[in-house]
Structure 1
Amino acid sequence: MRTALLTSTILATALLAHAAAAQTADAGREVEEVTVTAARTVLPANALPLTVEVIGAEDLKQQVTIGGSVVDAVAALTPSFSPTRQKLSGAGETLRGRSPLYAINGIPQSTPLRDGSRDGFTIDPFFVDRVELIFGSNALQGIGGTGGIVNQVTVGAPKEEGVSGRVLLQNLSDNGFHGDGSGYKAAGLLSWKEGAFDATAGAAYEKRGAYYDGKGRRVGFDAAQGETQDSDSWSLFGRFGYALSDTARADLILSRFQLAGDGDYVNVAGNRTTGVPSTARRGVQPGTPARGRTESASISYTDTDLAGGNLVTQAFWNRTKDLFGGDSGATFQDIRIAPLGTLLDQSENRSRKLGAKFSYERAVPGLDGLTATVGLDLLKDRTEQALVRTDRVWVPPTRYTSVAPFLQGNLALFDERLRLAGGLRHEKVQIKVDDFTTLAFYGSRAVAGGSPEFSDTLVNAGVIFEPTPGIRGYVSYAEGYTVPDVGRITRAININGVDIDDYLDISPIISNNREVGVELKRGPFDANATYFWSTSTKGQLLVLVGTVFEVQRQRVEIEGFEFNVTARTPIEGLTVQAGYADLKGRADSNADGRVDIDLDGANISPDRVVLAANYREGPWSGRLQLGKYLSRDFQGADPRNSFAGYTLVDATVRYEFERWGGLTLAVANLFDEYYIDYNTDTQQPTNNARFFSGRGRTFTLAWDYRF
């Protein structure tokens, strides 16, 4: 089936290209040049050997109204992105089978030293202007990004003199209009510009109710990892800028986001044998409900015409505190503190980053068509995981220091019909871990700390061929770089005599991404098809050990195909879209250097088909979209973890008033489909407590106004 579908899609792409080339009326249509800041260059996206997508402000607002978050928006529009878990934790959510790096204005939000998986919820989407997606492993933004980059670009500086702003009010309800299933949101943003100075400040508050599935039952609660249902979130944002000249400016950007569970429900176990999912009842959760908090500050100086080139500098500070729910499981028990089975504890992941980025790009004098970029990235990250109720160390303070100079070049030949691109990035890394003792569950092992150093030169190269405007092909090779979840590895040491200085399991992960792509922007068509494959000789897999997921270092190989097309129809204002992703991932389970088992649902997403129709005419606009997740079996896994697949349909309609903003009605899961969440359906086949259904039909009514 995979081969037939792949062949059919390639043939469809070829037919589209032929049809577009034959349309002489539109053959000369200019291709819009989009600059992607996450790519660290001012060159347009079509000059780069990368698969790049930008979710613009209107599309982002539309998807956020349907799904509620930036993660939901990316998942709905990107076939190779995993189904979202609809939880606070994004563990297992992948892009092209690997973890993406989430960033805000280039500031990394991920915490790879001890991945708390809360990086998708670090800012309210009201303050995000667009989302830049770079697919595949690359080291453009430093550590992370083995699956790609999800860069959230916040609202820009005001363009007009005086006061401007916008407000948002919205209400949400489940299909049964239960009182506890409703939620609401209020947000506002105010900007002021006078001469060279501008300031923007805003606040957002959202109250979320309980979720109900397609059978009208409350969705179960993952109290340990954290929930978005039954929660409150607060977000503050500020941007202050000063134009030093026509080309140079300085900006200070501040943000704070917190999402906290209310703790009004407790989970009720389901029954996997009979297919009954977990649900929830009113009750008090043990301990403090899970929450996440992120604070961020950055200051930047840019000059688009410094000695004929473009200078970008940024210094940033980022701090996260992620509290997990109370747990009295075996992992936290210690007979020296309390009788076995009675000790309640909960952990908090604490991470702090300090970093700086510098890059300068310009055309090279005397070498026509050559653009070069030189830069330097500096990063310090300190992360720990503490058990807050008993003041114990679970993951010791771990410090990551990185110094990474880089050089990129882009050579345009034959009137930009051919481009050669490539570069080097040298990562010099030190990981420092203090002496510590593991928990009693792991044998109270004394572990000698250390400061191992790693040094790697990462390569990227590509060829872009654009024989005529609107038709582009490329081949590329890029290496990604990240660290494994050091915290999961060190906390699980259960043997004596371990010395961090020579403990190879914490060595960085280098993944490579090879890609062949074809893009078409001609006539009414905008299409792309990409085949990619990536490997990492010492990758990272999440494997369930007892009741806790731990890290295993194994060889990982991933390959896939992705296809997307948008077409304008003869009906004025109507466009249609289609997308498809086919992914296959394998791992080496016995350390013989050859992959022998499939990646499971915690590490790769199912294949997917996406269909949509968009309409925009006069004051009316709307969208109808379908996402079909295809069934999947996992070779080498328990057959009970097979995935049956499901289909979800969403719709939204909007009316724009002449003077008083716009009114939007969005319906998620339009046909009230009942389904089991992919993440829990494909893991832990005997865990009845963690067997979650997905959200049923949900209505959102929103009013927004700009002034």
Structure 2
Amino acid sequence: MPKLATIRSPYWLLFRAGPGRSASGDRLMKFSHLLLATTALFGAAAAAQAQTVTTDEGTTLEAVVVTGSRFSGTLTTFPGSSTVLNEVQLEKQLATTNDIGSVLASTIPGMAAANGTAANVEQSLRGRPLRVFIDGVPVSNPLRDGGRDLRLISPNAITGIEVIRGASAIYGQGGAGGVINYVTRKGKADDDWKFRTELGTGFSTQHFGGSGSPSISQSATGAVKGFDVTLNGSYEHVGGQFDADGDRLAPDPHNFGGISDSDIWNVFGKVGYNFGGQRVEAMGNFYRQHQDTDYISKAGNIAQGIKETAVKGSYDPRALDPVNRNVMGYLGYYNDDLLSSAFHAQAYYLKNYSVFSFDPARLGGTQTTISSEKIGLQSDFRTPLEKLGWSAGGELLWGADISRDTTQQPLIPLTNNPGDGRTFTPPLEQMNYAAFAQLEMPLTERLTLRAGVRHDQFVLKIDNFVAGLTGVHVNGGELKYQATPVNIGGTFQIVEQAQLFGGFSQGFSIPDIGSPLRRVAVTNLDNFDPKPQLVNNYELGLRGKVLGVRYTGAYFINTAKFGTDFVIDTVNPSEAQTLREKEKVHGWEVVLDGRLTPKTRWSANYSHTEGKRDATHDGTLDTPLTGRRIGPDQFNLALEHDITANWLVRLQYNHSGTRNKFPGSAVGNYYTGRVRSTERLDALTQFKVNNVDFSVGVNNLLNEDYYSITSQMINRNELYSKAEGRTVYLKLGVNY
């Protein structure tokens, strides 16, 4: 029976800490603090009982199942780079943060650093946009990307995350950088109901008052007359965020949407029924984040080293509170044997509504909202090749998808704007029809081939509208486009402990349609060409195990004839302008993990990504891609020790490198700022007594004082924000 939540992962302790900066004398002092913390933690461990925590981690490579790929299989036959985080690993990561974006930045090589806000606008994967799924349902918004994909469901409803890095033909449009699939909770069809109550809080050690972030989560799983049922409800209040000096951060530090002073609600439910080799499953989730703050931003000054801060006040009493609301659900059907194949069909619905922060500089003071509604049906068959006469094994995955996406972003005039009917994104309606096939075929005992193709047809309808930034009246119309991405790759088992993998894959996406429409200067859509983006991805890697150390190394190149980057809009300086030019991105990743002793584990990873575009349109890649696409190198190191069978401690270190590709760039030029190297250390301890578990996590243990990577890249005085200082998280869980 197909299982959406089947995850078995190797132990990859790839933890993000965060950045930090200090003078050499400060570094020596902080190193002594680190040494003292390590000695205390592991000295206690040496005096404790010699027992080992039992977890699901450390499974073999062959046991890893990648379900988010639409092709349930093991890493031994997957010709690319993938990471699977199971529930145990997620619990550890979420002990020092409540932000999934930060978890992904800590554990996924090639993932750009998180910014700790409500948005993941600049959080690229291998230098390109990512596409997010929840239980296989596409939740990203390709027509108007508001950067909310990673915050559409509570972490309390998730038991695993699957990530495939690199463009992929089989998922349809979007995800040129990779695919992320959240796997939600799932019950078992037994009569015993199980409950879990979890209480938590977080606070800044530098400014306790106003920083409290209490949370509560309640879960229940069980069975009702043969139906397996899973329920979860959670609430979190995020208090003020404070830097290492104890100064309050702006409620929206990067102008993408903030998370401080917010209330977050999530209600999740799933029910399923198994019968005769078949299964019917339904899931629903409601998520709402509402920011209600009494503070506004006070601009900093990059040249003078003055940081952006928060002060009491409001921009406009008529402004709406920022909101991010998401409702989604699906009905799935599984059949183990239909047409000699395993069959899966899924009908889904998704509705998202986001209110963005008031912008006093745009058109005299305005605010926007994004409203998006999606409905779709996706189906696939998995046919064993032996049914088709191939005796060596393998599978053929084939199927079809259909979806409708309606999106709009109206412009709300609040102050001096005359309210002339302008819109940031007019009402858009896109129909998508697709068919695909993917083959996995073992050619020899050592060599496995994978190849596939997908064909997409799109019909985009646009109503008449007035462009938001130009005021031009544009006649609507209909645009049609199509794409046929392909992929081919394979794995070769060199020896038992070394496997070569690699291949060629393509990804297809329409660039954020809403962004160019706001500044369009033509009156007829016949003169508007969005130029679909086809990304070619090449990858070669080696993975295996030697002397007890698991390793993965990969080098990749991805190219696009019509790539997408962002620069400042000289007419509207508060806006970023979209560029469509030839570009190339390349990089490499190394992942290692092993054991120092039976009770002590370590892991490390390093990722490097860089890219250029053809700014002069002469065929030469002569200009670096901006910080919106390319972040600095990332190095993560973690050390974990089991004190007893029910008590562990862990330290996590992150070093973020430098990037200075635009020396001399004037302040105000979007995403051309110099990024200085930073570092940060996190720590946590978890222990369990009978049915009660408790964790203490410390984010930025040494209280490093630094400007956030995002604010350094953005390069604007009004967005020059520090990152959070030392923050403590306490969590108590009871199972009954």
- Do Structure 1 and Structure 2 share a fold, with TM-score over 0.5? yes
1:524 & 1:282 partners in 2: Cα distance? Answer: 56
Q: 1:378 aligns with which of 393, 402, 406?
A: 402
**Cα-to-partner distance string for 1:549-588 (whole Å, 9 max, x where unaligned):** 231211121000000000112x221111111011111111
User: Which residue of structure 1 aligns with residue 586 of structure 2?
Assistant: 559
Contact 1:196 1:244 survives alignment (8 Å): no
Q: 1:599 aligns with which of 618, 625, 639?
A: 625
Q: 1:533 aligns with which of 557, 560, 563?
A: 557
2:136 & 2:536 partners in 1: Cα distance? Answer: 22
Contact 1:600 1:637 survives alignment (8 Å): no
Answering whether residue 82 of structure 2 is matched by residue 59 of structure 1, we say no
- Structure 1 stretches lacking a partner, 5+ long: 1-28, 333-340
Q: 1:624 aligns with which of 635, 651, 654?
A: 651
User: Which residue of structure 1 aligns with residue 179 of structure 2?
Assistant: 149
User: Which residue of structure 2 aligns with residue 356 of structure 1?
Assistant: 377
| Shift in alpha-carbon separation, 1:251–1:79, aligned structure 2, 3 A | same
**Cα-to-partner distance string for 1:221-280 (whole Å, 9 max, x where unaligned):** 3275321111110001010111122x3111110001011111221111112112121111
1:82 & 1:559 partners in 2: Cα distance? Answer: 14
Report the residue type matching 1:461 in the other structure.
Answer: I
Contact 2:657 2:678 survives alignment (8 Å): yes
1:108 & 1:265 partners in 2: Cα distance? Answer: 35
1:102 & 1:552 partners in 2: Cα distance? Answer: 24
Report the residue type matching 2:264 in the other structure.
Answer: S
Provide the identity percentage.
Answer: 26
1:69 & 1:420 partners in 2: Cα distance? Answer: 38
In the TM superposition, residue 636 of structure 1 has moved relative to its aligned partner by: 7.2
Task: Give the TM-score, by structure 1 length.
Answer: 0.90
Answering whether residue 342 of structure 2 is matched by residue 310 of structure 1, we say yes
Question: Secondary structure of 1:67's match?
Answer: coil
Contact 1:484 1:509 survives alignment (8 Å): yes
Counting only pairs closer than 5 Å after superposition, residues 70-89 of structure 1 correspond to structure 2 as 70-89=100-119
Answering whether residue 398 of structure 2 is matched by residue 367 of structure 1, we say no
In the TM superposition, residue 652 of structure 1 has moved relative to its aligned partner by: 0.9
**Cα-to-partner distance string for 1:2-57 (whole Å, 9 max, x where unaligned):** xxxxxxxxxxxxxxxxxxxxxxxxxxx96442222211112223211121110111
User: Which residue of structure 1 aligns with residue 367 of structure 2?
Assistant: 346
2:628 & 2:121 partners in 1: Cα distance? Answer: 8
User: Which residue of structure 1 aligns with residue 302 of structure 2?
Assistant: 272
In the TM superposition, residue 78 of structure 1 has moved relative to its aligned partner by: 2.1
User: Which residue of structure 1 aligns with residue 146 of structure 2?
Assistant: 116
User: Which residue of structure 1 aligns with residue 464 of structure 2?
Assistant: 435
In the TM superposition, residue 215 of structure 1 has moved relative to its aligned partner by: 1.9
Question: Secondary structure of 1:322's match?
Answer: strand
Contact 1:597 1:635 survives alignment (8 Å): no
In the TM superposition, residue 413 of structure 1 has moved relative to its aligned partner by: 2.6
In the TM superposition, residue 177 of structure 1 has moved relative to its aligned partner by: 4.4
User: Which residue of structure 2 aligns with residue 477 of structure 1?
Assistant: 504
Q: 2:268 aligns with which of 237, 258, 281?
A: 237
How much is the aligned-residue C-alpha RMSD, in angstroms? Answer: 1.8
In the TM superposition, residue 69 of structure 1 has moved relative to its aligned partner by: 1.7
In the TM superposition, residue 120 of structure 1 has moved relative to its aligned partner by: 1.2
2:640 & 2:116 partners in 1: Cα distance? Answer: 25
Counting only pairs closer than 5 Å after superposition, residues 303-702 of structure 1 correspond to structure 2 as 303-329=335-361, 331-332=362-363, 341=364, 344-364=365-385, 365=387, 366-368=389-391, 369-389=393-413, 390=419, 392-415=422-445, 417-439=446-468, 441-442=469-470, 444-493=471-520, 495-497=521-523, 499-504=524-529, 506-521=530-545, 524-545=548-569, 546-569=573-596, 571-616=597-642, 617-635=644-662, 638=665, 641-659=673-691, 661-684=692-715, 687-702=716-731
In the TM superposition, residue 521 of structure 1 has moved relative to its aligned partner by: 3.4
Q: 2:73 aligns with which of 28, 36, 43?
A: 43
Contact 2:170 2:452 survives alignment (8 Å): no
Contact 1:114 1:488 survives alignment (8 Å): yes
Contact 1:266 1:280 survives alignment (8 Å): yes
Task: Give the TM-score, by structure 2 length.
Answer: 0.87
Which gives a bigger RCO, structure 1 or 2 (Cα 8 Å, sep 6+)? 2
Contact 2:384 2:394 survives alignment (8 Å): yes
1:30 & 1:57 partners in 2: Cα distance? Answer: 17
In the TM superposition, residue 475 of structure 1 has moved relative to its aligned partner by: 1.6
In the TM superposition, residue 140 of structure 1 has moved relative to its aligned partner by: 2.6
User: Which residue of structure 1 aligns with residue 51 of structure 2?
Assistant: none
Question: Secondary structure of 1:65's match?
Answer: coil
Report the residue type matching 2:479 in the other structure.
Answer: P
User: Which residue of structure 1 aligns with residue 324 of structure 2?
Assistant: 292
1:500 & 1:241 partners in 2: Cα distance? Answer: 46
Question: Secondary structure of 1:555's match?
Answer: strand
In the TM superposition, residue 176 of structure 1 has moved relative to its aligned partner by: 2.2
Report the residue type matching 1:297 in the other structure.
Answer: G
In the TM superposition, residue 154 of structure 1 has moved relative to its aligned partner by: 0.4
Counting only pairs closer than 5 Å after superposition, residues 150-189 of structure 1 correspond to structure 2 as 150-158=180-188, 160-189=190-219
Contact 1:454 1:507 survives alignment (8 Å): no
2:666 & 2:553 partners in 1: Cα distance? Answer: 32
Question: Secondary structure of 2:214's match?
Answer: strand
1:252 & 1:555 partners in 2: Cα distance? Answer: 43
Contact 1:31 1:469 survives alignment (8 Å): no
Report the residue type matching 1:587 in the other structure.
Answer: R
| Shift in alpha-carbon separation, 1:133–1:367, aligned structure 2, 3 A | same
| Shift in alpha-carbon separation, 1:278–1:513, aligned structure 2, 3 A | same
